[in-house]
């Protein structure tokens, strides 16, 4: 006899832009919020009874109402407000998962009065996932689409070779990747002070970028580990870091047919296929909990 397994429902990708007007100075928070709820939902699947179902349209409306009522201090804090509301206000709902993407804006300097003109920064997308089951929190934050490059100080040689290996060893190469990273906070209890979410994000990004820039890389794996290690060593509020790093290959172009020497100057940037390097870096004694596939987070 078939039985019902894991299930959840909600409203995905609610785009909300909150403008805070401080006189002539305005502030923007630009979010994409997805709500997923689970709990006592067997009957809606078995018989179609909606008695325990909060409409997904209501969850959408809640996102917009909370943007007004609570404001958006940070992606994490906004997700915490929403998750707590759904679990504590609806008895059949036992767990709420809130996923948020945040898009950055910066001010355009100009000579007119007021500070209300902005340009999308576009360097990366900030992300977070809040999960609450009525007693404990799990907050996993991160970023995606952060493209970085070292134009030197990277090598790749001494690897295994077989009859299918054609790749030449490289002793001075471009190392480029598009960082997708997640980090899990050790804050789980409402009775404890929560981290400063924005400050933590800024510091994590700083450390991962500094580690990327300062590591003389013999492999992308080595660079990944240094990025994760630096975060764990410098940020006490974080217990686990996971990175997914596609190797954005840059191949030297053969210019000899044109009588030209290519002295590590002209490259072809290949978009596919690409090497994909993934790993988790943990605080000693901590069990991993971030999913291997970051696209599901």
pLDDT single digits (tens) 182-208: 999 999 998 999 999 999 999 999 999
Whether 73 shows a pLDDT value over 70: the answer reads yes
- Altogether, the residues listed in the chain come to a count of 297
In the prediction, which pLDDT does 117 show? 62
- The active-site residue, picked from 11, 85, 205, 207, is 11
- The active-site residue, picked from 56, 58, 95, 280, is 56
In the prediction, which pLDDT does 121 show? 79
150-164 mean pLDDT: 97
- Contact predicate 95/132, CB 8 Å: yes
Pair 266, 246 in one domain = yes
Of 114, 134, 154, which marks where a domain is finished?
134
Whether 296 shows a pLDDT value over 90: the answer reads no
Pair 80, 143 in one domain = no
pLDDT in tens, 118-135: 777 778 999 999 999 999
Pair 163, 296 in one domain = yes
CATH code at 40? 3.10.270.10
At which residue do the structure tokens 């009065």 appear?
113
Pair 23, 68 in one domain = yes
pTM for the full model?
Answer: 0.93
C-alpha–C-alpha distance, residues 135 and 152, integer Å: 49
Pair 93, 193 in one domain = no
C-alpha–C-alpha distance, residues 171 and 148, integer Å: 20
- Tokens standing for residue 21: 């007007």
C-alpha–C-alpha distance, residues 140 and 201, integer Å: 11
Q: Which of 257, 250, 189, 247 is nearest to 219 (CA)?
A: 247
C-alpha–C-alpha distance, residues 155 and 218, integer Å: 5
| Pairing verdict, β 275-282 and 137-150 | unpaired
Pair 118, 209 in one domain = no
C-alpha–C-alpha distance, residues 293 and 297, integer Å: 7
Q: Which of 78, 91, 79, 98 is nearest to 37 (CA)?
A: 98
Host domain of residue 280: 136-297
- The active-site residue, picked from 81, 207, 248, 249, is 249
- Tokens standing for residue 33: 């919020």
Of 134, 163, 178, which marks where a domain is finished?
134
Task: State the DSSP string of the chain.
Answer: -----S--B----EEEEEEEEETTEEEEEEEEEEEEEEES-HHHHHT---TTPPPHHHHHHHHHHHHHHT--S-HHHHHHHHHHHHHHH-TTEEEEEEEEEEEEEEEPP-SSSSB--EEEEEEEEEEEEEEE-SS-EEEEEEEEEEEEEESSSB-B-S----TT--PPPBSS--EEEEEEEEEEES---TTSPPP-HHHHHHHHHHHHHHHHHH--BS-HHHHHHHHHHHHHHH-TTEEEEEEEEEE--EEE---GGGT---SS--EEE--SS-EEEEEEEE-TTPPP-S-S-GGG-
Pair 60, 116 in one domain = yes
Pair 230, 191 in one domain = yes
In the prediction, which pLDDT does 116 show? 63
Average pLDDT, the chain: 95
Pair 297, 152 in one domain = yes
Pair 210, 97 in one domain = no
Pair 64, 144 in one domain = no
pLDDT in tens, 241-251: 999 999 999 99
Of 99, 134, 169, which marks where a domain is finished?
134
The model's confidence at residue 295, banded by pLDDT at 50, 70 and 90, is confident
Pair 165, 77 in one domain = no
- Contact predicate 73/31, CB 8 Å: no
56 is catalytic: yes
- The number of domains in the chain is 2
C-alpha–C-alpha distance, residues 153 and 215, integer Å: 8
The model's confidence at residue 114, banded by pLDDT at 50, 70 and 90, is low
For the chain, percent of residues with pLDDT exceeding 70 = 97
């Amino acid at each position: 006899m078939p039985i019902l397994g894991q299930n959840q429902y909600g409203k995905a990708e609610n785009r909300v832009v909150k403008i805070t007007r401080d006189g002539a100075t305005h502030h923007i928070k630009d979010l994409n919020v997805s709500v997923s709820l689970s709990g006592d939902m067997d009957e809606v699947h078995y018989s179609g009874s909606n008695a325990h179902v909060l409409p997904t349209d209501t969850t959408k409306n809640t996102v917009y109402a909370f943007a007004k009522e609570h404001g958006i201090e940070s992606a994490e804090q906004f997700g915490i407000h929403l998750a707590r509301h759904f679990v504590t206000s609806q008895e059949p709902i036992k767990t709420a998962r809130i996923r948020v993407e945040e898009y950055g804006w910066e001010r355009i300097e100009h000579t007119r009065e007021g500070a209300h003109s902005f340009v999308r920064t576009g360097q990366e997308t900030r992300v977070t996932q809040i999960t609450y089951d009525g007693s404990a929190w799990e907050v996993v934050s991160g970023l995606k689409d952060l493209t970085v490059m070292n134009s030197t100080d990277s090598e790749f040689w001494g690897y295994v070779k077989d009859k299918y290996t054609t790749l030449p060893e490289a002793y001075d190469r471009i190392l480029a990747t598009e960082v997708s990273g997640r980090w899990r906070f050790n804050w789980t209890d409402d009775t404890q002070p929560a981290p400063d979410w924005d400050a933590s994000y800024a510091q994590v990004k700083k450390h991962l970028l500094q580690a990327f820039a300062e590591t003389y890389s013999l492999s992308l794996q080595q660079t990944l580990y240094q990025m994760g290690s630096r975060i764990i060593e410098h940020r006490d509020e974080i217990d686990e870091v996971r990175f997914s790093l596609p190797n954005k290959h840059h191949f030297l172009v053969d210019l000899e047919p044109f009588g030209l020497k290519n002295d590590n100057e002209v490259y072809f940037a290949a978009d596919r296929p690409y090497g994909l390097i993934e790993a988790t870096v943990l605080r000693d004694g901590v069990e991993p909990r971030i999913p291997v596939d970051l696209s599901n987070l």
